[in-house]
Amino acid sequence: MLPRPGGSDDEGGLGLRLAPAIFKMRSDEEIEAEAAAEQLKSSFDERPHRRFNPLTRSWVLCSPHRAKRPWLGAVEKTETTKLPAYDPACYLCPGNTRAANGTVNDKFEGTYVFDNDFPSVRSGDGDFVQLNEDDLFIAQSNRGACKVICFSPKHNVTLPDMTVDEITEVVRVWRREYEALGRLDYINYVQIFENKGSMMGCSNPHPHCQIWATEAVPDELAKELDAFAHWRANKNGACLLCAYVERERARAAERVVCANASFTALVPFWAVWPFEMMIVGHQRHLSSLAQLTADEERDLADIIKQVTTKYDNLFQCHFPYSMGIHQAPTTSTTGGPSQRPPQQHRHDDGDGRGEENGDDGDEDLFHLHMHFYPPLLRSATVRKFLVGYELCGEPQRDMTPEQAAARLRDLPAVLYRDLPPATEQEQQQ
């Protein structure tokens, strides 16, 4: 059975649509095959093994027995400073002067968007050019645009502190920016991402995310496009993530953390980070934010609130993470002319030779999803490091994704900061 969504009327009064129950008649052969698979999987609970990520066509080493090892390494500082609702020194607060050019923010009361004062890519650098010397020294120009989106005028909130209505407005701004930037003839991909917490390199605690819209399709997205193309070519036109989320929901849901009518949040079978999560649409195939209905915008806001609430409740802290929205390249979804730089994406067609994957059909090919990559491992002060074997060989994790999902799933749906203070007797128990 799927976990009950945390945004129901009984648990927070959000009045959101619940995920439909899933009932599927199975044959005796299917039941026997599933039992055999479960017996095989149980042998991996304490045994080192590798798991395959079909989205990037890469492997991760899982070492569940290492979760018990002692730790005398780095201990991070927790962010305990209580922030004010307005900080006169913050360059993201309403009405304040920003860090460059003396620009003054509007006195905004909701979500606020502006051009990044320190962009990583720029629009005015001329047409696309490429250098190639003997296929050894290759460089491409990469035009683009960078924006900052303040989630709220309040300096002291994060996504789990916001209401579903407030997060829904953020989702709508994401959609508008995706569509507007995608109509620019030199923009082919719009990457929306959030770095939360100083541990993730966030330079300002005011709640915000960024958009980097680029002429080139970034490597991680190119890998996923190839994976979707490979799956479709080998599975009679099926979608990789449609198949994956259906299997996750229809079985024991051991990696599902929470869900609502449109979206499922789960710890992927191939997760690298200890409490990594992915949000995937399960109700229908969606390629980008541009295809969301009003109900789906609200459902996406609800599942984001559920996920981020679970995170903060895990170690009762402002849980750090990097979040990214992965969706179809914009040339196909917005109808704009393509000036995409020539890129060779290759996927293995099963015989090891690989096959060049063109850019046609990206909209139908891609499946909208969100990645959450949090670094914390054992507590609010102990983080995971990708070093050594993981840099030189392949990524590795300790606890299994199933164990991580169980811990997250069992956490309260209400943010710990919103609960009444515990009595002295409760604290002693």
Is 369 labeled as catalytic in the residue annotation?
A: no
- Distance, CA of 289 to CA of 297 (rounded, Å): 8
- Please tell me the distance from the alpha carbon of residue 268 to that of residue 53, in angstroms, as a whole number: 9
Rounded CA separation 74/316 (Å): 20
Burial class (CB within 10 angstroms; exposed 0-12, middle 13-18, buried 19+) of 221: buried
Residues 6+ apart with CB under 8 A from 334: 179, 182, 183, 290
Greatest Cα pair distance in the chain: 74
Exactly one of 208, 282, 347, 369 is catalytic; name it.
208
Report strand pairing: 256-259 vs 263-266.
Answer: antiparallel
Q: Pick left, alpha or beta for residue 236 (phi over 0 → left; psi -120 to 50 → alpha; otherwise beta).
A: left
Three-state secondary structure of the chain: CCCCCCCCHHHCCCCCCCCCCCCCCCCHHHHHHHHHHHHHHHCCCCCCEEEEECCCCEEEEECHHHHHCCCCCCCCCCCCCCCCCCCCCCCCCCCCECCCCCCECCCCCCCEEEECCCCCCCCCCCCCCEEEECCCEEEECCCEEEEEEECCCCCCCCHHHCCHHHHHHHHHHHHHHHHHHHCCCCCCEEEEEEEECHHHCCCCCCCEEEEEEECCCCHHHHHHHHHHHHHHHHCCCCCHHHHHHHHHHHCCCCCEEEECCCEEEECCCCCCCCCCEEEEECCCCCCCHHHCCHHHHHHHHHHHHHHHHHHHHHHCCCCCEEEEEECCCHHHHHCCCCCCCCCCEEECCCCCCCEEECCCCHHHHCCCEEEEECCEEEECCEECCCCCHHHHCCCEECCCHHHHHHHHHCCCCCCHHHCCCCCHHHHHC
Q: Hey, which residues are catalytic here? A: 208
